[in-house]
């Protein structure tokens, strides 16, 4: 059986075809085969959330998905969602609230936060804490992150009224 397989993954809207080792997880694929180093490896055990990316619109742990499993699917990374402007509001709020320090967890944290912002616009502080509870941050006390996400959610609610 072949341990290397051709896969075509649409990364941030652009199809990328590579021969990938079957054992390579999606984050190593993104970082090494595609050169997008914004998604980080924090544990490779599916616990820390630093590798959170979006596959077909849903957030996943990039270290718990093989690159070959993403064959034929759409993957969005921090770089893509930054360029498309989708994360602009959250990024601005994170910046203004100092909701990051070393920035290593931040791409994954933004992915998780955006998943909440776009699906549950009524989220309370408690709900925000719950939704990002799968993403470690060792620098901040999470408080500023919650502040930033809450501000974006409240702005959106205000905008709808």
Residue 70 engages other proteins in binding (rule: CB under 8 A): no
Residue 144 engages other proteins in binding (rule: CB under 8 A): yes
User: How far is residue 112's CA from residue 131's CA, in Å, rounded to a whole number?
Assistant: 7
Of 11-19, 126-134, 153-161: span binding other proteins (CB under 8 A): 126-134
Task: Please give the residues from 37 up to 66 whose contact with other proteins meets the rule CB under 8 A.
Answer: 37-50, 52, 58-61, 63-66
CB of 54 to other proteins, least distance (A): 9
DSSP three-state, residue 90: helix
Q: Which letter does DSSP use for residue 25 in this model? A: B
Residue 78 engages other proteins in binding (rule: CB under 8 A): yes
CB of 113 to other proteins, least distance (A): 11
Asked if residue 132 lies in contact with residue 109, where contact means CB atoms within 8 angstroms, the answer is: yes
Expressed in angstroms, the distance from the first to the final Cα of the chain is 58
- The count of residues interacting with other proteins (CB under 8 A) is 79
Structure tokens at 96: 């203004």
């Amino acid at each position: 059986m072949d341990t290397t397989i051709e896969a075509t993954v649409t990364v941030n809207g652009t199809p990328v075809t590579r021969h990938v080792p079957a054992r390579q997880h999606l984050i190593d694929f993104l970082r090494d085969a595609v050169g997008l180093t914004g998604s980080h490896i924090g544990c490779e055990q599916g616990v820390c959330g630093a590798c959170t990316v979006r596959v077909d619109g849903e957030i996943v742990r990039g270290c718990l998905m093989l690159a070959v499993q993403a064959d034929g699917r759409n993957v969005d990374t921090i770089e893509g969602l930054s360029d498309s402007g989708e994360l602009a509001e959250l990024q601005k709020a994170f910046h203004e609230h100092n909701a990051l320090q070393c920035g290593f967890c931040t791409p994954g944290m933004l992915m998780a936060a955006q998943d909440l912002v776009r699906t549950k616009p009524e989220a309370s502080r408690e709900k925000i804490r719950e939704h990002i509870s799968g993403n470690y941050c060792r620098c901040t006390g999470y408080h500023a992150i919650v502040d930033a996400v809450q501000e974006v959610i409240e702005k959106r609610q205000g905008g709808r009224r």
